[in-house]
Amino acid sequence: MPNMYTNRIRLSGMSREPRAGRLARFALTCVLAGMWLPASAQPEFNLEFLKGNIQKESLSALSTPGAVLPGSYLFTVYVNGQEVGREHIDIRQSFGQATIPCLHREQLIAWDIVLPDDPQVGTSTDQCVDVPALVPESTVSYNGNQQRLDLSIPQRYLVLRPRGYVQPALRDQGINAAFLNYSLTGTHNHQNGYGNSDYYFASLMSGLNLGAWRLRQNAVVHKDNDREVHWRSQSISLERDLQPIRSRLKLGDTYSGNSVFDSVQFRGVQLASDDSMLPFSQQGYAPVVRGVAATNARVEIRQDNVLIYAINVAPGPFEIRDIVPNRMSGDLDVSVIEADGSVQRYSQAFSGVESMLRPGMWRYELSAGQLRNGNTDYRPRFALATVAHGLASNTTPYGGILVAEHYAAAGLGVVQSLGRFGSLALDVTTARTELANGETQRGNSYRFLYSKSLNDLGTEFRLVGHRYSTSGYYDFNDAAAERDRWRNGHYETTYRDPETRFDGTPDWSSALDRRVTSNRYYNKRSRLEVILNQRVTDKLSMYANFYKQNFWGSDDSERNIQIGLNGRVKSVSYGLFFRDTRSQYGYSDRMIGLTLSIPLGKSSSSGMSSSSSFTHSRESGNTLQTGVYGTALDDGRLGYGVNVGHSEGAGATGTANLDYLGSKGAVSAGVTASERYSQFGWGVRGGVVAHGGGITLSQPLQRTSVLVHAPDGEGVGVENQPGVRLDANGYAVVSGLSPYRFNRVALRTDDLGAGIEASKVAARVVPTEGALTLVEFDARRGASVMIRSRREDGSMVPIGATAYNTQGQVRGVAGPNGKIFVSGVKPGEQLLVKWGQDAGQQCTLDTKEIPVGDLEPAKAGYARVALNCHSLS
């Protein structure tokens, strides 16, 4: 039977072979390489040249670099270079030839490989599928050292998947664990004429992961001069994903979406679609690009003259549905480059809005519970349902219904792409509200949004009429606030008075709240929002934002106008802005400001910069600040800043801050001094994770994390994670991963000294939302030893025999004269040497028989010892 597979050495990948292991395999390979004899069919080598006992079956199995003995091994599987799974693969002997992987039909189908509809092909669980024989131009190869299986399959024999697609089998729900995220801060203030005061605050987020379930609780604790400790639980929730329906189930405190109705905080139950489970190329909206190729052509798509997509297409019509634009507005320039070099060029209009969906996509939400907006006392029960669907005509209809105590509303809308004229969204919501004074109000609200990008001018324009509402319309938040503020015949509203002047004291922000009363509730009338962004040059951009909110029954309105520009001259960045604000209760202010940022040092990457700002406010006068900021230490984990300034309220001030990010958490400290007060502040933040391997302290935890474990890797850093190093138990936590996508986690190879061996130093994981995924690295501290072994009967261990440690990991391979080069050897460790499955084909090497001093490396970089290999019987 001809060998249907090839074994190839992989020079790059996700892992690396131990240095000592590479030496051992290299030495054995050199011995074997010199013995190849020419043959007409397949090369063979002359075993007569080898000295010592020869195990022909083991030697033939290992005759190819990266090969392993027959057995079941865990491999990471790649199809055309893309990871598709991690599975145990049977490695079998192919009639005296090199060992080959045995792949089954169901495995290949799960990897999106299209096989002939032949019921006799691979139907038995023990039957191996001959992939190269069934799929033309395909190959299968493996590398046991890297635990990697590669399949090269022509594109026409693969199921078409969008870019960024991840096999569901790769999604990792993580390990069971409990954790606490904490942030502790304290300040000591001294105010001239007022004495001293202290304030302490703690934010605590605790959690428990059990399988796919995530339990979360958020709480705050604070203490001030009254010596009372105040505790408040902010939220508690239990949730999990439902991957077959691309959804999340949440129980407890959460928020509703804002696709149809304004978002509200509530306690209850929610079932909603989760777009994060989609491939990145299917999230959000992008148009379908269509065209016709005359030959085998390459299609390139650019936005803002930046290449964002490229693909090879066959002659004939084509459709591209998995484009990922740089931004939601900006026409797409399409180039079809034919085989003869001719090029078709055309433009695809694209101006999207956030609620648009790609054709065929659904978005929905079902929520029910009790409203819990802030500290309001009125908490009505409610239920809502919303749905949106992307149609092939670049249209997204959407709608919803909300029913609550004393309130009901329904909404319907549509988003439509207008091609080169932009995109338009229109919707109408009708509501019925029973007011606290006994009246029943009915009204409608009309909302529109228009978006347009002008590529040639570098302009992005967005106009939002959000909303115009009739006098009888109340949204759900307004309806709840109306009842909450009712006080036996009048309405009472509490607000923070912005006109309270800064008096130079740190407790200025605790100024008394203001309270207003009225004989009616001022519900929203109209809201207008305009956003304009203009790119002038590659180094200069401008923006203008306008927002205004009017209310029924009141001449007062909210208003915010911002105009500014941002630019760069060589390495200096600058910004200039103007802001005009007005609150509902009559406060208004105008401000103009200038900012400058200048990198210090020989290059912009030196880690130090100077930043200055000047602002003039009609209410608070002039404020000037300038400072120097930077980072230090090898991975920038120490941050520092010194700042001086002057304001009309506080006079001259000076501040200095330090922030250190360590493996077990972060600490910060800062001092501030002015003519009127001085302040010292400190902070400690981090995480505590309890898992099956013990308790690990970490930097502040984010929603999705990885627990890295390398048993003997104490002190080794994690790549691209400042300050993160493995603790004494070999654990470290890395946070901030992207759920349902590939994330690379790697050890810092610079930290692997001569006494540490690692079979792999990098891995890719696909965690689910909120998971704590365990990533194991085989990092071992120990000696590198050349063992000259003999069996108890005086015979030598056969060439090709493999040495395993107690974890079943390969540590070395026997060469001529019973010599086995092994790495990572610890005093007292036992090694199992195998050249077959029978007990008579196995023996053990006990390193306790080696004097500790003999494990010291010689000039060659490794120790030389002689050991007896004891039989198992």
Span 283-336, pLDDT tens digits: 777 777 877 777 777 888 887 677 887 777 767 677 787 787 766 666 688 888
Q: 234-264: per-residue pLDDT in tens?
A: 889 999 999 999 999 999 999 998 888 988 8
Secondary-structure percent of the chain, ordered helix, strand, coil, rounded to 5: 10, 55, 35
Domain map (residue ranges) of the chain: 19-164, 166-219+593-781, 237-284+352-483, 288-348, 782-871
Least confident range from 59-63, 68-72, 671-675, 696-700: namely 59-63
The Cα 242–Cα 852 span in angstroms is: 55
Write the DSSP string, 594-661: EEEEEEESSSTTSSEEEEEEEEEETTTEEEEEEEEEEEESTTS-EEEEEEEEEETTTEEEEEEEEEEE
Give the pLDDT score at 12: 28
The Cα 632–Cα 638 span in angstroms is: 5
CB atoms inside a 10 Å sphere around CB 233: 11
Give the pLDDT score at 56: 56
The Cα 813–Cα 829 span in angstroms is: 17
At residue 21 the predicted structure's pLDDT band, cuts being 50, 70 and 90, is: very low
In our burial notation (b when 16+ CB lie closer than 10 A, e otherwise), range 463-480 reads bbbbbbbbebbbbbbbbb
Domains 19-164 and 782-871 share a fold: no
Nearest to 180 by CA among 164, 199, 155, 204: 204
Q: 512-533: per-residue pLDDT in tens?
A: 456 777 767 888 888 888 878 8
Q: CA-CA distances (angstroms) from residue 454 to 331, 339, 350, 422?
A: 8, 32, 10, 9
* Contact residues for 724 (Cβ-Cβ < 8 A; gap 6+): 663, 698, 699, 717, 718, 732, 733, 734
Residue given tokens 């992207």 in the structure block: 738
At residue 850 the predicted structure's pLDDT band, cuts being 50, 70 and 90, is: confident
If you classify domain 288-348 with CATH, what class do you get?
mainly beta
Describe the strand order of the beta sheet including 82-93 as a list of residue ranges. Answer: 99-102, 82-93, 71-79, 148-152, 139-143
19-164 belongs to CATH 3.10.20.410? yes
Name the superfamily (CATH) of residues 166-219+593-781. Outer membrane usher protein FimD, plug domain (2.60.40.2610)
Nearest to 822 by CA among 775, 872, 780: 780
Give the pLDDT score at 296: 76
* Contact residues for 205 (Cβ-Cβ < 8 A; gap 6+): 180, 181, 182, 216, 217, 218, 219, 701
Q: 718-733: per-residue pLDDT in tens?
A: 988 888 999 999 999 9
Write out the two tokens for 512: 């008394």
Give the pLDDT score at 8: 32
Average pLDDT over residues 691-718: 92
Cβ-count burial of 456 within 10 angstroms (0-12 exposed, 13-18 middle, 19+ buried)?
A: exposed
Q: 852-872: per-residue pLDDT in tens?
A: 776 666 555 678 888 899 988
If DSSP codes are grouped into helix, strand and coil, which group holds residue 749? helix
Query: Phi and psi of 507, rounded to 5°?
Result: -90, 20
Least confident range from 269-283, 315-329, 690-704: namely 315-329
Q: CA-CA distances (angstroms) from residue 221 to 182, 204, 234?
A: 11, 8, 11
Higher pLDDT, 682 or 382: 382
If you classify domain 782-871 with CATH, what class do you get?
mainly beta
Residue 579 CA neighbour count, 13 Å, CB half: 14
CB contact at 8 A, 50 and 69: no
At residue 61 the predicted structure's pLDDT band, cuts being 50, 70 and 90, is: low
Give the pLDDT score at 459: 59
In one letter, which amino acid is 437? N
Residue given tokens 């309130």 in the structure block: 407
The Cα 833–Cα 69 span in angstroms is: 12
Nearest to 358 by CA among 320, 331, 302: 320
DSSP 855: G
Give the pLDDT score at 428: 94
Give the pLDDT score at 754: 61
Give the pLDDT score at 523: 83
- Percent with pLDDT over 70 in the chain: 81
Write out the two tokens for 588: 């208004």
* Contact residues for 296 (Cβ-Cβ < 8 A; gap 6+): 312, 313, 314, 315, 339
Residue 142 confidence (pLDDT) above 70: yes
Residue length, the chain?
Answer: 873
Residue given tokens 């491939």 in the structure block: 279
Query: Phi and psi of 334, rounded to 5°?
Result: -110, 130
At residue 221 the predicted structure's pLDDT band, cuts being 50, 70 and 90, is: confident
Could you give the angle at the alpha carbon of 689 between the alpha carbons of 686 and 691, nearest 5°?
Answer: 170
Give the pLDDT score at 270: 97
Least confident range from 75-79, 697-701, 826-830: namely 826-830
Could you give the angle at the alpha carbon of 575 between the alpha carbons of 573 and 581, nearest 5°?
Answer: 160
- Percent with pLDDT over 90 in the chain: 23
Q: For strand 819-825 and strand 863-871, is the pairing parallel, antiparallel, or unpaired?
A: unpaired
Nearest to 32 by CA among 816, 817, 836: 816
Could you give the angle at the alpha carbon of 129 between the alpha carbons of 127 and 132, nearest 5°?
Answer: 160
Cα 486 → chain centroid:
46
Q: 599-652: per-residue pLDDT in tens?
A: 887 655 557 888 888 888 887 788 888 889 888 887 788 889 898 888 876 788
Write the DSSP string, 37-82: E--SSS-EE-GGGS-S-B-HHHHHHTSSTT---SEEEEEEEEETTE
pTM above 0.85, yes or no: no
Radius of gyration of the chain (CA): 34
Write out the two tokens for 47: 């075993």
Residue 18 confidence (pLDDT) above 60: no
Cβ-count burial of 277 within 10 angstroms (0-12 exposed, 13-18 middle, 19+ buried)?
A: buried
Nearest to 628 by CA among 606, 609, 601: 609
CB contact at 8 A, 360 and 371: no
Give the pLDDT score at 6: 35
